[in-house]
Amino acid sequence: MRVSKVLKLICVAGARPNFIKIAPLMAELRRRPGIAPWLVHTGQHYDQRMSGLFFRQLGIPEPEVNLGVGSGSHATQTADIMTGFEQVMLEQKPDAVVVVGDVNSTIACGLVAVKLGAKLLHVEAGLRSFDRTMPEEINRIVTDSISDLLFCSEESGRRNLLREGHRAESIFLVGNVMIDSLQRHRQQAESSEILNALGLSSGGYALVTLHRPSNVDDPPTLRGILSALNRISQEMPVVFPMHPRTQARLQTPALGALVSGLQTTEPFGYLEFLKLMGSARVVLTDSGGIQEETTILRIPCLTLRDNTERPVTCEMGTNRLVGTAPDRIMAAYREAINGQSKHSQTPPLWDGRAAERIATIIQGRLVAET
């Protein structure tokens, strides 16, 4: 075993959800004696709205390395990340690597880390949609299979990992680092002027996000979702910050015409979007993280998918799986605005202290070994 005075730890972030999760973890690790955390940004999300603004608003330190890989197919992007991250690993020789979530940066950096002999720590481990057509599901399964320490955000993750044969002593139920960020920035987000800027009133609009390939890359599915959103827009404003992927798909005249009745915008910063979520009458999304955030904000969430890797948001939270059929979306929308959605509870350990628990475990398990 390599001997060093401190634990050299590389933390990896690549996409917008990663930034929200890595912010509280980096802050906590920097406070811990015996740990020297480094931040590597892969550049998977690279533009101002999807990356730079999040770093500033979340108080994330400037990354020591930005690989700048940009977009591309799954194979191209994963390969580019692996090639760039391998050079970082060879130069820095860290003791361990922390990866978060389920994006291509997660699996790419995880594979490089373990092949070069570093310990791999996966934050948000064990989540399963049981739908292998989702690229994220493959990333989750493979990353967990090669990780040394597995940090779970909810009980379902722990159960999934045990069922898959992982050792109980490598699994830790720690809570949700995304909720750490929400709790830390909630008051600051309240002062945002985004509602005034968009001409909205609190509780008087629907908020929408769409980005999953199964929804936006299939024209009939996208057309059906947009038809439901247009029906909703006849009753209240529908605010639709568009992910770059979704913007690209709506360039065709046939599909582009279907958003004419919606209030489409560019993506927002973290604080602005948090304010929009917390003030919405209802949120419609295919995002995993938004299912979690609306649970804490106690805002009805209609998930435009047939499955979720975050079942606690349906069991305890305000989330409801409604699929993509327009009539099902509209029926769920009616129930939500009429107050028929169940009241949200806070899932266990979603208390804003997940990063603290993770850092304590890292100190206890890894610092003593260096």
In the chain, the domains with their CATH numbers are 7-175+350-369 (3.40.50.2000), 186-337 (3.40.50.2000)
| 223 band by pLDDT with thresholds 50, 70 and 90 | very high
pLDDT computed for residue 262 by the predictor: 96
pLDDT computed for residue 222 by the predictor: 94
Query: What is the average per-residue pLDDT within 359-370?
Result: 87
| 49 band by pLDDT with thresholds 50, 70 and 90 | low
> Other C-beta atoms within 10 Å of 187: how many?
8
- 60, exposed or middle or buried, with CB in 10 Å at 0-12, 13-18, 19+? buried
| 257 band by pLDDT with thresholds 50, 70 and 90 | confident
Query: What is the average per-residue pLDDT within 103-111?
Result: 96
pLDDT computed for residue 1 by the predictor: 42
Q: How far is CA 286 from CA 125, 129, 225, 243, in A?
A: 20, 13, 11, 12
Which residues have a Cβ under 8 Å from the Cβ of 218 and sit 6 or more positions away?
none
Instruction: Read off the pTM.
Output: 0.94
pLDDT, tens digit (0-9, with 9 covering 90-100), for 196-215: 999 999 999 999 999 999 99
pLDDT computed for residue 329 by the predictor: 98
| 367 band by pLDDT with thresholds 50, 70 and 90 | confident
Closest by alpha carbon to 148, among 181, 99, 190?
99
Q: What is the H or E stretch that residue 57 is in?
A: helix 53-57
pLDDT, tens digit (0-9, with 9 covering 90-100), for 168-188: 999 999 999 999 999 999 999
- The catalytic site residues sit at 211
Per-chain mean pLDDT for the chain: 93
- Pick from 46-50, 127-131, 138-142, 189-193: least confident: 46-50
pLDDT surpassing 90 at residue 68: no
Which residues have a Cβ under 8 Å from the Cβ of 20 and sit 6 or more positions away?
54, 58, 177, 178, 181, 270, 289
pLDDT computed for residue 56 by the predictor: 87
Tokens of 37: 């955390």
Q: Phi then psi for 301, rounded to 5 degrees?
A: -125, 125
pLDDT computed for residue 3 by the predictor: 46
Closest by alpha carbon to 129, among 137, 120, 118?
137
- 272, exposed or middle or buried, with CB in 10 Å at 0-12, 13-18, 19+? buried
pLDDT computed for residue 370 by the predictor: 62
Tokens 């004419």, residue located = 260
d(C-alpha 87, C-alpha 62), whole Å: 19
Describe the strand order of the beta sheet including 7-13 as a list of residue ranges: 65-66, 35-41, 7-13, 96-100, 119-123, 149-152, 171-173
Q: What is the H or E stretch that residue 64 is in?
A: none
Query: What is the average per-residue pLDDT within 295-313?
Result: 97
